[in-house]
Structure formats: structure tokens, C-alpha cells
Structure 1
Amino acid sequence: MKAFTTLRTTAAPLIDGGKLMANVDTDMIIPKQFLKTTERVGLSEGLFHELKTLADGSPNPDFVLNKPAYKSAGVLIAGDNFGCGSSREHAPWALLDQGITCVIAPSFADIFYNNCGNNGILALTLPQEACDVLAGQAGGGNSVFEIDLERQLVIGPDGAEHHFDYDEGRKEKLLKGLDNIGLSLQQDSAISSFEAQRKLATPWLEKA
């Protein structure tokens, strides 16, 4: 997993009807027909498929990620309760395949939030008012945002700093690029020592 320290990039606001989209579920993030693979590449094709595709299958020119100015955005700004619905891990995989490594919203569904942290995406919460301000500053896609995980700051294009709270354990994992397996392997010597002692204490288990 790639470490997350500081990110400088443009941001794509997920807006509908002039407001940040709330209650975006994982089926909207990546529909079920794209869940047939366990590969983590190529999933951006299905990312927000129903939003970015018209009825005839052609690209929707009004969808934010179809606009040239936002195609390389590394930050997605969304509304309340982002990532609700099923627990599919393909949702953060698809975001990563698109190049999005940070999602900003007023709140997230718990399982999606955990999946993001375990896959190298910083899902951070800010008040609705701050999210609305940042979405407005995203403008035409030319504004640069800075996400500083160490200092827990979102720095807008105007230089204003927005502090966010983040669990220290999750923060350490992201800063070091460690998923749960990587975190366990940091104790590799202790694990090996335990296994060696267990073999001596219960040799009959090795015959099973």
C-alpha cells in the first residue's frame, strides 16, 4: 500500500442540483456488474457508471469526472453519508484506479470508511459548511488543494486551513503505507519466536 503523507492536487466536487450529493452508496460508486473481478486495475471504468454514462452508453459531458479539468483530480468532495450501502471493497479500489486518494465529506458509512483506510485512501470529515466552501473553490478544476495528513490539515486554494480529526492508529498506518497485514508483519520477529516456542512445547501439533 502506498504511503499517504502530503497531497497537492485538484479536487472534483460531486454535485447534483447545485448541492454536494449526499447518501452516495457503494452501488452508485461502482455498480454490481463490475464486481466480477478481484483485480484492482481497470475498475475506474465502472466508477460512478450510472452518473457518467448516458442512456445510449455515451459519456455524460456534465459529469464532473468526465470533464477534462477534473480527470486527474486526486481529491473527491462529496456530501453527507458517503459510501453507504453494501460493504464492497471494490468501491475504494475503483476510486484508487481513478487516481483519487482522498475523499472529503461531512460523514462516511463505517465500513466504507474502514475500507478506505485499509486501501490507502484518506477519508476525512469536515463540517458541511467547510465542504461546501471547498467544493465552490474547486471551480473549473484549476485550483490546487493541499492535504497534509501529518498536520491534519486541508489547505484550500485561498490558503485557508481546515483542521480535521483523524484516529492516530489509522494515521500511522497511512503515513507508513501499512495495511493490516503489513502492520502485523512489523512484529515478524516476535511471531517467529512464538512459533518456534510453540513447536517445542507442542511438537505433536506439527504432525497434524
Structure 2
Amino acid sequence: MEKFEKLTGIAAPMPLVNIDTDMIIPKVFLKTIKRSGLGVNLFDEMRYDRQGNEIADFVLNKPQYREAEILIAGDNFGCGSSREHAPWAIADFGIKCIVSTSFADIFFNNCFKNGILPIVLPEEQVAVLMKDAEKGSNARMTVDLEAQTITTSEGESFAFDVDAFKKHCLLNGLDDIGLTLEKQDSITAFETQAAQARPWV
């Protein structure tokens, strides 16, 4: 998993509330177990019409937001079913940070496991970030995980809380497999000892 330390990028405004995981990635695309290739179907039913053509006024189809790496979202983002394909699609599109007043618990935790930083801030601070994001591609925000701050294009900065263990994992690019591999020497030593003690196994 890629390390998340400091990000400066375009923020896309998506003020809709209760965006659920089926809106993020519709169930028809859940047939794959690969993490790649889902970005093209992110928000599929909002991005495309029934003929598969892009809907021009959807935020991520607008030229200024096609390269967005930060999403400023409405309340209760990621609610609905617990599908891990939702953060897979978000990450594959290129979004590395989502800011909202609240997230669904399972989606929130799945973000960290897939290299995405979900930030919870008060409504008034999210409103400031939303307004800044509406300026388009010239308004780049900076997210500093080490300092735990997000800064607008005009230099206004907000502090955010993050669990110390989850912060460690993001800073070091550790998913569940990476965390296990950190204990590789201990695992190898245990397996060697077990094989000597029980050679018939």
C-alpha cells in the first residue's frame, strides 16, 4: 500500500448527504475481486446516462475536477452495505482523502485499509472547505497527516483527529498484509521451532 504523508491536490465538492456504497459503486460491478479497474465505474449511475455517455454537470466529469485527489462530501458518507469495492473504486479513481462531517463505520475503517484518509470535521469547517473546493482546479488543498491538518487554498488551516494506530499504518503504507509481514522474523522463528518440536506435522 502506498504511504500517505502529505498531499496537495484538487478537491472536488460533493455536498450530497447519505451517499451510500451502492451510489459509490453499483452492485453490478461487484463481480471482481481485483482492486484495480473500478475507478471508471465510481459513482457510475451519477456519472453516466443509460447509453454510457458522461453526464456533463456531474462534478467528477467537469474538466477542473477530473484529477481530483480530495473529496469534500456531505454528511453520512459511505452508508449502506459494507462492500469493500467502494473504497477500491475511490482509490482506483485517484482520490486519496475524503472529508465529511460523518462516515459510516465500516466504510470509514475500510478506507484506512486501502490507503484513503477519511477526515471528520465539524459542519462549519466542512462548509469552508466545500466553498474553497468550488473554486475549481486552481484551489488546491494540502492535507498533512503527520501534523493532522488540512489547509485551504487561501491558507486557512483546520486540525483533525485520527487514531494513532491508523495514522501509523497510513504513514508507513501498511495494510493488513503489511502489518503481518512486519512480524515475519517472529513468524519464521515460531515455524522453525514448531517444525523441530513436531516434525511429523
* Structure 2 length-normalised TM: 0.96
Q: What is the CA-CA distance between 1:188 and the residue it aligns to?
A: 0.8
More deviation, 26-35/137-146: 137-146
* Pair 1:41-2:36 in alignment: yes
Percent identical residues? 52
Q: CA deviation at 1:152?
A: 0.4
Superposed displacement of residue 56, structure 1: 4.2
1:140 offset after TM fit, Å? Answer: 2.4
- Asked if structure 1 preserves the Cα contact closer than 8 Å seen for 2:3 and 2:170, the reply is yes
Contact 2:17 2:76 in 1 (8 A): yes
Residue 197 of structure 2 corresponds to residue 198 of structure 1: no
Q: Does 1:177 align with 2:173?
A: yes
Residue type matched to 2:4 in 1? F
1:66 partner letter: N
SS class of match (2:3): coil
Q: Which residue of 2 aligns with 1:167?
A: 163
- Tell me, yes or no, if structure 1 residue 140 matches structure 2 residue 136: yes
Q: Matches of 1:3 and 1:171 in 2, distance apart?
A: 10
Instruction: Name the structure 2 match of 1:10.
Output: 10
CA positional deviation for 1:203: 2.9
Q: How many residues align?
A: 200
**Counterpart selection for 1:96 from 91, 114, 120:** 91
Deviations 1:102-137 (A, max 9, x none): 011111111111111001001111111111110101
- Partner Cα distance (2:128, 2:137) in 1: 14
Give the Cα separation in 2 of the matches to 1:3 and 1:55: 38
Amino acid at match of 1:7: L
**Cα offset for 1:200?**
2.5
Which segment drifts farther, 55-64 or 45-54?
A: 55-64
User: Could you tell me which residue of structure 1 aligns to residue 63 of structure 2?
Assistant: 68
Corresponding letter in the other structure for 2:175: D
Aligned to 1:112: 107
